[in-house]
Structure 1
Amino acid sequence: MNTFDDILAAYTKQVLLPWAADTPPVGRIWVVWYEKALQRRFTGRLGEFEHATQKAGHGWHHLDLAPWFGKWIARHEFFAALVEQPKELRGLLPDIEDALVSDMKGALAACSPNDVLAVDGCGALFGVARISTLISRIADSVPGRLLVGFPGKHSGGVYRLLDARDGWNYHAIPIPPDNAL
Structure 2
Amino acid sequence: MTRIEDLAESFGRHIATSWQRTVAGAQRVVIVVYDKELERTLRARKLAFETAAREAGHEWRELDLADAFAQWMAADEYKDEYFMSPEDIQLKLEAEFHVYVADLVRSTLCRADVTENTVVALLGTGSLFGLARISEVLRIIEGDIEGRLVVFFPGHFERNNYRLLDARDGWNYLAVPITTHNE
Aligning the two structures, in what range does the TM-score lie when normalised by the shorter sequence?
over 0.9
What's the CA shift string for 1:25-54, capped at 9, x where partnerless? Answer: 232000000010111111121111111111
- Partner residue of 1:154 out of 153, 157, 168: 157
Indicate conservation of the 8 Å contact 1:154/1:178, yes or no. Answer: no
Q: Secondary structure at the match of 1:40?
A: helix
Normalized against structure 1, the TM-score is what? 0.94
Corresponding residue number in structure 1 for 2:56: 56
The Cα of 1:24 is off from its aligned counterpart by 2.0
2:115 aligned counterpart, secondary structure: coil
CA RMSD in angstroms comes to: 1.4
Matches within 5 A, 1:158-177: 158-176=161-179
SS, match of residue 120 in structure 2: strand
Matched residue, 2:83:
83
- The answer to whether the 8 A contact 2:99-2:137 is kept is no
Given candidates 103, 114, 117, the residue that maps to 2:117 is 114
Counterpart of 1:97 in structure 2 is: 98
Partner residue in 1 for 2:18: 18
String of CA shifts for 1:101-126, please: whole Å, max 9, x gaps: 11111110012110011001001011
SS of 1:146's partner is strand
Instruction: Describe the SS at the equivalent of 1:160.
Output: strand
Report the Cα distance in structure 1 between the residues aligned to 2:6 and 2:12, rounded to whole angstroms.
10
User: In the comparison of the two structures, how many residue pairs are matched?
Assistant: 179
Look up the match of 1:131.
134
Instruction: Say if 1:58 and 1:114, in contact at 8 Å, map to a contact too.
Output: yes
CA contact (8 A) 1:26 1:173 kept: no
The answer to whether the 8 Å contact 1:12/1:53 transfers is: yes
Gaps in structure 1 of 5+ consecutive residues? none
Bigger Cα displacement from structure 2, 159-168 vs 59-68: 159-168
Letter in 2 for 1:25: G
Once the 2 structures are TM-superposed, how far is the Cα of residue 179 of structure 1 from its aligned partner?
A: 4.5
CA deviation string 1:74-126 (max 9, x = no partner): 11101100110111110112111111111111110012110011001001011
In the alignment, structure 2 segments of 5+ residues that lack a partner are none
CA contact (8 A) 1:29 1:147 kept: yes
Name the amino acid aligned to 2:21: A
2:119 aligns to what SS in structure 1?
A: strand
Asked whether the equivalents of residues 108 and 142 of structure 1 are also in contact (C-alpha less than 8 Å), the reply is yes
Q: TM-score when scaled to structure 2?
A: 0.93
SS of equivalent to 1:127: coil
Flag the 1:177–1:171 CA change in 2: closer, same or farther, 3 A. Answer: farther
Q: Which aligned runs of 4 or more in structure 1 are off by greater than 4 angstroms?
A: 177-180
